[in-house]
């Protein structure tokens, strides 16, 4: 398979786990990464690593990548990011809505209201904020793919993570609905990453999370799949 032509890929929740591994893999393949995350320290560490991975022939002292410290729960922050990518000429060809969180294992009556809100506001409203401000940019260009990270638990259910399951079931429905709204040339895809050893998985599985593949092993096949999605995949629910 030949290398995909260079693309600009935006990843939310880019500073750790799947987002970080995917960003590094895409950068190694020569693609431009636009990203955002809540941790300024982890974000800066990623900026440094992405810069080191850039070709030595690059004469510019400025990285071609664009990473911003922000919270996807803030509609205004996402609005400002959308303005910035236009100004910088980095409107994404692909968006991976990866930012997400999970509740501590608990029965629903023992999940504090603020913890439930955190899961819903990050996992659902965060994605809605991104689509609200970035879909018009893609529609104007008549192309683009938005990947909303779902989960196996967005298609099934387990006990003690009801808030998380609720949010991922919502992403499946949200994605399929928006897929019916976008014009030809665009695609909205719900994508389950499979079971990967991340902090989120460790929250549920504890030390058993280490039995599953690491994000670094997951990223190459994820990158290949994501880069090859087209408008023909609009409305699909896929799994890596």
The active-site residue out of 134, 153, 164, 218 is 164
The mean pLDDT of the chain is: 93
Q: Which two tokens stand for residue 227?
A: 């880069």
Say whether 33 sits in a helix, a strand or coil.
strand
Contact at 8 Å (CB) between 182 and 196?
no
Sign of the alpha-carbon dihedral angle for 70, 199, 213, 217:
positive
Confidence band, pLDDT 50/70/90 cuts, at residue 54: low
**Segment (H or E) for 183:** none
Domains of the chain: 8-51+62-239 (3.40.50.720)
Q: Is the pLDDT of residue 61 over 60?
A: no
- 212 a catalytic residue: no
Share of the chain above pLDDT 70, in %: 94
pLDDT at 201: 73
pLDDT at 131: 98
Q: Is the pLDDT of residue 31 over 70?
A: yes
């Amino acid at each position: 398979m030949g290398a995909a032509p260079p693309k600009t890929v935006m990843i939310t929740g880019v500073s750790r786990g799947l987002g970080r591994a995917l960003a590094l893999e895409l950068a190694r393949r020569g693609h431009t990464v636009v990203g955002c995350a809540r941790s300024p320290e982890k974000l800066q560490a990623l900026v440094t690593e992405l810069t080191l991975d850039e070709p030595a022939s690059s004469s510019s002292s400025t990285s071609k990548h664009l990473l911003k410290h922000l919270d996807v729960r803030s509609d205004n922050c996402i609005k400002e990011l959308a303005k910035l990518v236009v100004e910088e000429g980095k409107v994404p060809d692909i968006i991976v809505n990866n930012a997400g969180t999970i509740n501590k294992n608990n029965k629903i009556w023992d999940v504090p209201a603020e913890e439930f809100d955190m899961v819903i506001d990050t996992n659902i409203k965060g994605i809605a904020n991104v689509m609200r401000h970035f879909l018009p940019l893609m529609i104007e260009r008549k192309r683009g793919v938005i990947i909303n990270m779902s989960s196996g638990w967005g298609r099934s259910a387990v006990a003690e993570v009801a808030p998380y399951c609720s949010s991922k079931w919502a992403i499946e429905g949200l994605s399929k609905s928006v897929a019916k709204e976008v014009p030809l040339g665009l695609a909205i895809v719900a994508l389950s990453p499979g079971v990967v050893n991340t902090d989120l998985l460790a929250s549920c599985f504890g030390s058993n999370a280490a039995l599953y593949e690491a994000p670094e092993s997951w990223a190459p096949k994820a990158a290949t799949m994501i880069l090859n999605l087209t408008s023909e995949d609009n409305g699909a629910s896929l799994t890596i």
